[in-house]
Amino acid sequence: MILVHGGAGTVAPDRHDRLRAGVRAAAAAGHAILAAGGYALDAVVASVRILEDDPEFNAGTGSALTRDGSVETEACVMDGTTHRIGAVAAVPDLANPIAVALAVLEAGEHVILAGPAALRFAAELGISPAPQGALITDRMRDRLAEAAAHEATASAPVDRSGGTVGAVARDRHGNLAAATSTGGIVYKRSGRVGDSPIPGAGTWADRTAAISATGDGEAILRVALSRGVAARVAAGMPLREAAIASLRELHEITGGSAGLIALDGSSRVFVQLSPTMPVAWVDASGGGDSIGDLIS
C-alpha cells in the first residue's frame, strides 16, 4: 500500500483539481513499483519525485522562495526495516532532492548533507543543479512579494506556509518506508532548515510505523512529531489514536498545527489532514484521493 500527501499549505479552491490529479499520479507511480514486487523504499521515492516535478507543489519545481528570492530544497527518505536514512537540507536549486537523499542513504557514510556541499555530492552522481530561476513559479514569486510587503509595512503576519510533499508505503515483504520533500516556508532566511529533512521530525519509518508530516515546521521539530507517533504505536497505542495524541501534544506545547500521513505494519492507515491537504492512496482493493477530510 502507498499513501501520498501534497502538503498543508494554503490552497485556493481553483487549484484543488490540479492538486488531486498530482497526488493521484504520484500514488500510481509508487504503487506500480509495489505491484511489481518492488520495495517500499523505492516506491516512496518514485512518488515524491513525481510531486517534485509538478509545479503545483512546494517541492523541487514550484518551491517556496527565500528572502533573497532563491530556492533551497530539502528532502529525507528512511527505510523502516534497516533504519537507514538519507537527507539533504538547504540545498540551492536542486530539482529532485529526494534522489540525492536516496543516494546519501545508499552511500551509508552520512545521514544528512546540507547546503552547497550537498550539491557537490550530487555532482559526483552526475546530478546538476537546475538553471538559475528554472524552479521558480509565478505563484511563488507573488507569495514572496506579498510576504515582503507585509514585512516592510509591519502589518498583520502573512501566511508563510509553503507545504510539503510526502509518501509512506508498505510492500509485500512487510517493509515500511517514508519520504518527504519541500521547498520550505515562504520568505525564509537562507540556510533555514525545516522539519522535513530531520529524522523523527517530518519523516520517520521503523518496523512499527512510517510517517510523513507537514505543517508548522518549527513546531514539528520541537516535539519530534513523526517519531512520537511511532513510539506511541510501539507502546501499544493504535495508529489512529497515536496520531491524534501526537498532533494534540504538538498544539498544546507549541501552539502550532500540522498534518500527517501514517501507515503501520498491519496496513492500517491514518490521515490527519489540514483543511486543504491533498492526499491519495492505492492498495490491493483500489484507491482514492481527498482534500480536507479525515481518513482512517
Residue 164 falls in the annotated catalytic set: yes
The one-letter code for the residue type at 92 is P
C-alpha cell of residue 148: 515582503
What are the backbone dihedrals phi and psi of residue 280, each rounded to the nearest 5 degrees, phi first?
-150, 155
Rounded alpha-carbon distances, angstroms, from residue 168 to 38, 149, 211: 14, 38, 6
Count CA atoms within 13 Å of residue 33 on its CB side: 19
Which residue in 61, 66, 164, 276 is the catalytic one? 164
Q: Taking the alpha carbons of 242, 243, 249, 250 in that order, is the dihedral positive or negative?
A: positive
Return the residue matching grid coordinates 498532533: 247
Mention every residue, 6+ apart, whose C-beta is less than 8 A from residue 199. Answer: 76, 78, 85, 87, 111, 227
Catalytic residues: 164
